[in-house]
Structure 1
Amino acid sequence: MGSFKDVVGHKDIINYIRNAVTENKVSHAYILNGERGSGKKMLANLFATTLLCEKQGPDPCNACHSCHQAESGNHPDIIRVTHEKPNTISVDDIRRQVNEDIQIKPYQGPYKIYIIAEADLMTVQAQNALLKTIEEPPAYAVIFLLTENAEALLPTITSRCVMLKLRNIKDTLIRKYLMETMHVPDYKADMCTAFAQGNMGRAIMLASSDHFNEIREEAVQLLKYINEMDISEVTKAIKKIGTYKLEINDYLDIIMIWYRDVLLYKATKDMDKVVFKDQISYIQERAKKSSYEGIELILESLEKAKTRLKANVNFDLVMELLLLTIKEN
């Protein structure tokens, strides 16, 4: 399980949790709000483990029976709410797993803890059912609502919970973790860090993914030679990009980072800040040939392409418009 010392970033939240535990000011309901991969589950699990730890310190001891149970996912007083329908947490899920169960006292610890992942999937009826429990909880109950979108929760729920917002982690901390803990080489750590945009979970996933390297190589090959391509070659390139439809946002983000490098180098001539250090000669060449207006236009076109793809506009058409804009600028 580890301890709060092992968590990268989120110092304000960790300090809050430690103080709540040591001063015995634990609330009955918390919302952990942050994007996918930001660390909500990890913090909720550590908080729950600390509350039930037999040593009752500000961090879990990881040695007692309770900590071992929590680590193995078998603690009887930590209930993880599940749902059968993929995109909905129903009123029955909440009634059965929370409202009816919460009346039974803890089996062994001082608290009984409920962790509801993807809490924004709760229907309005499910939220109203949960609200009754949050309004009058037993003294031993603690409920964690994990969400990427706290706005989707009813104001009556959010007003009765302590909101813990997970903010982006500094790039320097992410890069350090990737290089020192995961032993990722510096050029790859730079790429994953730039890509993750402050999200540690995403950085770790990218650093561990061979598929990401493949997408990166494909995008780089395109960017190196797109200006020499004729229309038939552009059409072939679009077909090839089509094989990465599921990861198209990653593919477009790689192109975006490339052109940010071009813009940065054009403006500063500083190679140290460039992410694509292994492609510096191509970045320098593109910076010479492209105007500031042209690079801005490409960056805007990338955002437009993402929006259009999200709206289910024809994939080939969106990519053709994008590649022609890149080619012309």
Structure 2
Amino acid sequence: MASFKDVVGHKDIIKYIHNAVEENKVSHAYILNGERGSGKKMLANLFATTLLCEKGGPDPCNVCHSCKQAESGNHPDIIRVNHEKPNTISVDDIRQQVNNDIQIKPYQGPYKIYIIAEADLMSVQAQNALLKTIEEPPEYAVIFLLTENAEVLLPTITSRCVMLKLRNIRDTLIRKYLMESLQIPDYKADMCTAFAQGNMGRAIMLANSEYFNEIREEAVQLLKYINEMDVSEIVKAIKKISTYKLEVNDYLDIIMIWYRDVLLYKATKEMDRVVFKDQLPYIQERARKSSYEGIELILESLEKAKQRLKANVNFELVMELLLLTIKEN
């Protein structure tokens, strides 16, 4: 069973939760804001379990009936709001699962807790419906809004909630966790840590993904030989990349880490901080051939490519522009 001791990082949020529980100063609404894989769901579940724990401590005891129910996902006083439409939480979802239910008192615990994952998917009407509940909640109600984009929530919602921002976790903590808890070898832990960019969930996903190694290998082969490739070969490579469309940001991040390695080696000649240690001769060669301006241009082009793909610009066109920029610099 999970406890706050299992959470890597986020010490300030855990301290806040402990204080709120011990001093009986629990708010009626919280926003947990952080990127996917940052630990929002884990923290919300632990907070909810703690509030309903029969022992009443700052940590869940994981022994009582309530904790066991929470762990199995069957606690009657923890309601996880679902939505049928994939990209929208509708006003009906909020009315039926929150507003119409919240007036019914808790079945067995001191609190009745609502967890709304992907809260940024709430329509404006859904948010306005929820606002009425947040403005005048029953004293036993606690609502958790989990989101990657708190800024898209209505200001009237955010102003009435306690904002808990999940920040990036230090690389040393992520690397240590991967090596000690997941038994990941050091070279792979280095790669996953660098690629995760402070996100523990992403680091764990990458460490367990065979697919990630496949994508990484594809990117490395392209980067090693792009200067010798003609336009037809680049087009062929783009078509191969398009089979990874759902993971294209991962693909672009791998290229970005490669060029950060090139920039780092060019500036310092140090090998210790290079992520692609197994590709060092190619990193050194690229550092010799590319100018600082060229490398910066490539890194800027990678960011632009991400933004264009997010805006649904034609995939092949975006990738062709990017690869030609890489080839020219």
Specify the TM-score bucket, using the shorter chain as the normaliser.
over 0.9
Q: Secondary structure at the match of 2:169?
A: coil
Q: Give runs of aligned pairs for residues 231-270 of structure 1, distance below 5 A.
A: 231-270=231-270
The aligned counterpart of 1:273 is: 273
Q: Distance in 2 between matches of 1:6 and 1:196?
A: 19
The aligned counterpart of 2:69 is: 69
Q: Distance in 2 between matches of 1:191 and 1:14?
A: 28
CA deviations 1:148-175 (Å, max 9, x no partner) are: 1112222222111111111111111111
Query: Which has the larger displacement, 132-141 or 35-44?
Result: 132-141
Percent identity over the alignment?
Answer: 90
Task: Tell me: CA distance 1:157–1:8, structure 2 relative to 1, closer, same or farther (3 Å).
Answer: same
Q: Distance in 1 between matches of 2:318 and 2:42?
A: 38
Do structure 1's residue 313 and structure 2's residue 313 form an aligned pair? yes
Q: Secondary structure at the match of 1:285?
A: helix
Q: Secondary structure at the match of 1:202?
A: helix
The aligned counterpart of 2:165 is: 165
The aligned counterpart of 2:129 is: 129
Q: Distance in 1 between matches of 2:271 and 2:173?
A: 21
Q: Secondary structure at the match of 1:273?
A: coil
Q: Give runs of aligned pairs for residues 83-162 of structure 1, distance below 5 A.
A: 83-162=83-162
Q: Which letter maps to 1:309? A: L
Q: Which letter maps to 1:193? A: T
Q: Give runs of aligned pairs for residues 179-328 of structure 1, distance below 5 A.
A: 179-328=179-328
Q: Which letter maps to 1:256? A: M
CA deviations 1:43-64 (Å, max 9, x no partner) are: 0000000001111111101111
Unpaired runs of 5+ in structure 1? none
Q: Secondary structure at the match of 1:79?
A: strand
Cα displacement (A) at 1:238: 2.1
Q: Distance in 1 between matches of 2:217 and 2:121?
A: 37
Q: Which letter maps to 1:30? A: Y
Q: Which letter maps to 2:4? A: F
Q: Distance in 1 between matches of 2:234 and 2:134?
A: 57
CA deviations 1:178-218 (Å, max 9, x no partner) are: 11111111111111111111111111111111111000001
Cα displacement (A) at 1:4: 0.5
4+ residue segments displaced more than 3 Å: none
The aligned counterpart of 2:12 is: 12
Task: Tell me: CA distance 1:136–1:251, structure 2 relative to 1, closer, same or farther (3 Å).
Answer: same
Do structure 1's residue 44 and structure 2's residue 44 form an aligned pair? yes
Q: Distance in 1 between matches of 2:59 and 2:201?
A: 22
Cα displacement (A) at 1:90: 1.8
Aligned residue pairs, count: 329
Cα displacement (A) at 1:316: 2.4
Cα displacement (A) at 1:307: 2.3
TM value normalised by structure 1: 0.96
Cα displacement (A) at 1:242: 2.1
Q: Distance in 2 between matches of 1:62 and 1:202?
A: 27
Q: Distance in 1 between matches of 2:65 and 2:318?
A: 56
Q: Distance in 2 between matches of 1:28 and 1:313?
A: 42
Unpaired runs of 5+ in structure 2? none
Query: Which has the larger displacement, 85-94 or 41-50?
Result: 85-94
Cα displacement (A) at 1:139: 1.4
Task: Tell me: CA distance 1:161–1:279, structure 2 relative to 1, closer, same or farther (3 Å).
Answer: same
CA deviations 1:53-100 (Å, max 9, x no partner) are: 111111101111110000000001111111122222222222221122
